[in-house]
Amino acid sequence: MPKQIIQSSSAPVTGFTDKSNPSPLAQAIRAGDFVYVSGQGPLDPETRDVVEGDITVQTRRTLENLRAVLDAAGASFAHVVNMRVCLRDTADFPAFNETFREVMAGEKVTRTCIGATPHRKGVNVEIDCVAYLG
């Protein structure tokens, strides 16, 4: 089965440095029973601007964007097996983790969370994931 590009109009396409140029990335790619979702951040799906707010607001928007891409692939958080999280400030971890817990509503995944500098100014959290549809 060849890879299938997944696209959702309910989530922004990331991977750009200039909004006037198209992104070189796919929102997600399905390969066999796996869906690989590109890193999503707290971007408004329509404007592709960073949403205003603290880590709680940014985490919710980021997870909403991930959910929209997963939905376009026929998946949900119930299908996610792994997530990778990048926090600009590791001091945000407690608030991030509590918001993550609320949004995931008891769904369990494996996860790695690191402190680093996301590529875009104002982005304080970025999350990618892998889902299994088998």
3-state secondary structure of 126: strand
Higher pLDDT, 104 or 14: 104
Q: What is the arithmetic mean of pLDDT over 96-118?
A: 96
4-132 homologous superfamily:
RutC-like (3.30.1330.40)
How far is residue 7's CA from residue 71's CA, in Å, rounded to a whole number? Answer: 10
Q: What is the arithmetic mean of pLDDT over 31-45?
A: 95
Q: Quick check: 24 pLDDT over 80?
A: yes
Q: Quick check: 17 pLDDT over 80?
A: no
Is the pTM higher than 0.75? The answer reads: yes
Kindly list the strands in the beta sheet with 34-40, ordered across the sheet, starting from the edge strand earlier in the chain. Answer: 4-6, 28-31, 34-40, 125-132, 80-87, 110-115
**Cα Rg for the chain, rounded, in angstroms?**
14
Q: 48-87: per-residue pLDDT in tens?
A: 899 999 999 999 999 999 999 999 999 999 999 999 999 9
CA 93 vs CA 72, 87, 107: distances in Å? 29, 8, 19
Nearest to 122 by CA among 53, 65, 66: 53
| CB-CB neighbours of 5 under 10 Å | 9
Q: Quick check: 20 pLDDT over 80?
A: no
How far is residue 9's CA from residue 17's CA, in Å, rounded to a whole number? Answer: 19
Q: 123-133: per-residue pLDDT in tens?
A: 999 999 999 99
- Where do the structural domains in the chain lie, given as residue ranges? 4-132
How far is residue 119's CA from residue 109's CA, in Å, rounded to a whole number? Answer: 25
User: 124: buried, middle or exposed (CB in 10 Å: 19+, 13-18, 0-12)?
Assistant: buried
